[in-house]
Structure 1
Amino acid sequence: MDHPSVLLKRVAGTLAAFSLAACGDATPSAGTGGALGEVVELTAPAPSGSNTPHLALDADGRVMLSWTQRRPDSTVAIQMATWNGTSWDSTRTIADNRQFFVNWADFPAITALGNGDLAAHWLEREGGGKYAYGVRVVRSSDGGRTWGAPVTPHTDGLAAEHGFVSLWADGPDGIGMVWLDGRKSAMPDSTREMTIRTATVSATGALEREALVDARSCDCCQTGTAPTRTGRVIVYRDRTTEEIRDIAVVRRTDSGWTAPQKVHNDDWHYPGCPVNGPQAASRGDTVVVAWYTAAHDTARVNVARSVDGGATFGAPVRIDDGDPIGRVDVVLDDDANPVVVWLEQRGPDAAEVLARRLVGNAPGPIRVLSRTSGARQSGFPRLTRHGNDVVAAWTSVNPLQVHVARFSLSSK
């Protein structure tokens, strides 16, 4: 989406280097622990013209990569492949020949369900409006070789914005979903207010447990989600009537979804959408949230930890290298220490994909995964755990192509 806030975000990132001393918010020095292993790039199954990578594990613990493929004839397909530890299997097509809504920040994803099935989603145009599009979710019971009929999880039937989806396995065969919903019945004025909504798609395609989670959220920031022993958590960028755009969390309990609470009071006053959502990871009742903010003219990537299933969070720790673009993702090691990936500005047209582990409150050394661009087309790097390795995927711009690499959680 074309938002004027993108320029403002760049200004905030540039101001950060001049604001650190004045604000007393210097970037953290690397500790001696938490070092990550050397980066080994894998031959990606996605050819030139690919972007929007997403990573997940299947029921057997194998890495699944999905991406958007732009073909030479200008058609688009949503595709996937699986890594068996030494090589990728054949590319499978999740969807093609449809009226896709293709967006650099709002991209398809794939997940494994409790019974071993796979679920995937994409966005599809609805009506003639520039931003009239809806969510489609599909299921595969044969490892992605064939897919069932698409289901639309929002029931408004309106030509409005619906997107920024997070998927999860809900019970043995349900597909849990959260998304940003811009149905006009929830937007009586022209402020482009979005809502946060959830639903579950059953094995028969029926919609269940539909719920409105938050009646006003940021317009176009990604959502994130993670399971805990006490219930699922959802994180997203909130939006107050005063245009404060901090990160919020809700938890699903036996009585339903809790009221939204801030992960931290950044107090980021921002009259637009930064297109820079949070992500979450969990282990037991430890939940870690990573996010970008430029509150008080200082761009940061922050990490905050909860040990009570997301009910409360400790003070955030800053982990960036001084001029972050953001676009974060996070996974946890076996001790629930977060490993975060993000983009860092390195010049007018240059950026790097960086990764860093936080042990307690001590950030470890930064690991450079790749050079890239800070342009929109470089998208959002993604992570997943694979045994003692972390697998990362990101997009280069010239040429446009998905890349995949792995690095060990051990520095040796």
Structure 2
Amino acid sequence: MKNILIGLVLTTFLISCGNEKPHESSDGPLKLMALPSPADSLSAEPFLFSDIKGDVYLSWIDRSGDSSKFMFSVLEGDKWSAPKLIAKGKDWFVNWADFPMLASDGNGSLIAHFLEKSDSSTFAYDVKITTSADGGNEWSSPVTLHDDGKKAEHGFVSMAAYENGYFISWLDGRNASMEGHEGHEGHHGEMTLRGTYVDGSGKKMNEWQLDARTCDCCQTSTSITANGPVVIYRDRTEDEVRDMSIVRLVDGKWTSPRTIYPDNWKISGCPVNGPASGAKGNTLAIAWYSATDKNAQVKLIFSKDGGASFEEPIRIDEGKAIGRVDLVMMDDSSAMVSWMEGAAIKAVQVFANGKKGDTHIIATSTESRSSGFPQMVRSGDGLLFAWTDDNAKTIRVAALRK
């Protein structure tokens, strides 16, 4: 009965699109279809991931018991595998915007991360990583990703399979904390961006400081271009301009931070609204949110040389954007972008030449923080979406296919 009701609700969303008809292609229009969710209990913080073989993973936090349970499932046709436990704990830092995630190398190796409290103060927590060599049946004992030993903020992780292991980036508050002080007002230094390479067992091989001063709590985004890893994040200047920047690993060395486009958004606090990126070869696409002069916008920008230079940005929102973007490369000249327009979760295909397809309304949620960040991933010849149903306090899943 639950799945029938979800289907009726999604059908209503499609009817409500008005002129926003499904994108027409040679194989017919794209159609939205509800799928059962493996996270059918009290759950939130969904994360979708697709590996190099096209296998789709959904992870989430199960909140139905007295501890946080980090779960995942793999899509098999239109059904999900039985959920498996990655880790659980009672002392985790669980946040609507800074959620656990996992990655796979496509050969049975998996890595996952979550946040664990390191002190009684609210913003003191560590990034813990755990690995599996058998497709997620057994997981290693979690270890701390960073080695600074500070009781400070560490989070907003992004990671991707790279060479024979994984590249991981995160925001690191080792220089920004006053240990024993409560809240962000305890900062007396700078939030930094750091990166590391770990092998398949989670052993850290290298670590770098990538930017010495960044925005405090926006997600980072990592993509692997033909030239190597790139990290996109919200930067922070001395006069509080918080635009998107990029760093790139080129010939074994990291480039200096560079603004991808000067929005010149000056804001005294963190908007908690990070970028999303994707790469196919050396075509790199980045979506982000800004609100310069209170003019909220979602934009997309392309690079044809792995992030060394960029084309002009393309605005994709319709005037009521609140951000929370995601991005999937469709080919080497277009990307699908999802975002929230008020309470609506929308998606549109955008081409490097500036053309856009029709906008699809995937679902409606709420603008509250507890609705989280909707997720999108490539699945076969279509797309898969996951989001938190803020009213039912559970995770919904839908596919957009031909």
Distance in 2 between residues matched to 1:277 and 1:200, nearest whole Å: 22
Within 5 Å, which residues of 2 pair with 1:83-232? Answer: 83-113=75-105, 115-172=107-164, 174-184=165-175, 190-191=187-188, 193-232=190-229
How far has the Cα of 1:170 moved from its partner? 2.5
* Corresponding residue of 2:322: 325
How far has the Cα of 1:61 moved from its partner? 2.1
Q: Can you give the 5+ residue segments of structure 2 that lack an aligned partner in the other structure?
A: 1-18, 180-185
Q: Quick check: 1:34–1:363 contact (8 Å CA) kept in 2?
A: no
For normalisation by structure 1, the TM-score amounts to 0.86
Change beyond 3 A, Cα 1:86–1:32 = closer
Distance in 1 between residues matched to 2:21 and 2:357, nearest whole Å: 5
* Corresponding residue of 1:54: 47
Secondary structure (helix, strand or coil) at the match of 1:363 reads coil
Instruction: State the one-letter code of the partner of 1:103.
Output: N
Change beyond 3 A, Cα 1:101–1:147 = same
Instruction: State the one-letter code of the partner of 2:362.
Output: L
Q: Can you give the 5+ residue segments of structure 1 that lack an aligned partner in the other structure?
A: 1-28, 346-350
CA offset digits 1:265-317 (Å, max 9, x no partner): 00000000000000100111100000000012210000000000111111111
Indicate the larger mover: 110-119 or 370-379: 110-119
* Corresponding residue of 1:388: 381
How far has the Cα of 1:57 moved from its partner? 2.0
Secondary structure (helix, strand or coil) at the match of 1:377 reads helix
How far has the Cα of 1:59 moved from its partner? 5.5
Indicate the larger mover: 189-198 or 228-237: 189-198
Q: Tell me whether 1:303 sits opposite 2:295 in the alignment.
A: no
* Corresponding residue of 1:263: 260
Q: Tell me whether 1:76 sits opposite 2:73 in the alignment.
A: no
How far has the Cα of 1:41 moved from its partner? 1.3
How far has the Cα of 1:335 moved from its partner? 4.3
For normalisation by structure 2, the TM-score amounts to 0.89
Distance in 2 between residues matched to 1:130 and 1:47, nearest whole Å: 29
Change beyond 3 A, Cα 1:59–1:285 = closer
Distance in 2 between residues matched to 1:318 and 1:31, nearest whole Å: 20
Secondary structure (helix, strand or coil) at the match of 1:402 reads strand
Distance in 2 between residues matched to 1:358 and 1:187, nearest whole Å: 44
Q: Quick check: 1:59–1:116 contact (8 Å CA) kept in 2?
A: no
Secondary structure (helix, strand or coil) at the match of 2:246 reads strand
Distance in 2 between residues matched to 1:34 and 1:151, nearest whole Å: 48
RMSD over aligned Cα atoms? 2.1
How far has the Cα of 1:32 moved from its partner? 11
Q: Quick check: 2:176–2:187 contact (8 Å CA) kept in 1?
A: no
Instruction: State the one-letter code of the partner of 2:228.
Output: G
How far has the Cα of 1:203 moved from its partner? 3.7
